[in-house]
Structure 1
Amino acid sequence: MDWHLKKRWNWVVAKKLNLYQDKHWSWTVSLYSGFALIIWITVQLDEIILEL
């Protein structure tokens, strides 16, 4: 197994943006990515509807 999967990276910016201090910062990044994806899909659907 790679050591990359075991090591916990110490990123100060990610820790400051972390909503859940008791969890690893990657959970918050996943949440932010999900929000960004929902917004992107909504914008794309709005563009399709406006073309009709």
Structure 2
Amino acid sequence: MSKREPNKQNIFEFDEEGTNEVSEQILNSYNSGFIGEGIETVDSSTFSSTEG
């Protein structure tokens, strides 16, 4: 196992195609109902309205 060099500069690259692919995967998961599963939703009709 090598030691990390504290003075070494990390290089990060932005890959727009990869970003778009991940975004599409997240949207597909959300739209399929996988994301948000188990989260309780509240029906707004259960709350009383106070219109003046």
TM-score (norm 1): 0.37
Which structure is larger by alpha-carbon Rg, 1 or 2?
Answer: 2
User: Which structure is richer in relative contact order (CA contacts within 8 A, separation 6 or more)?
Assistant: 1
TM-score w.r.t. the length of structure 2 is 0.37
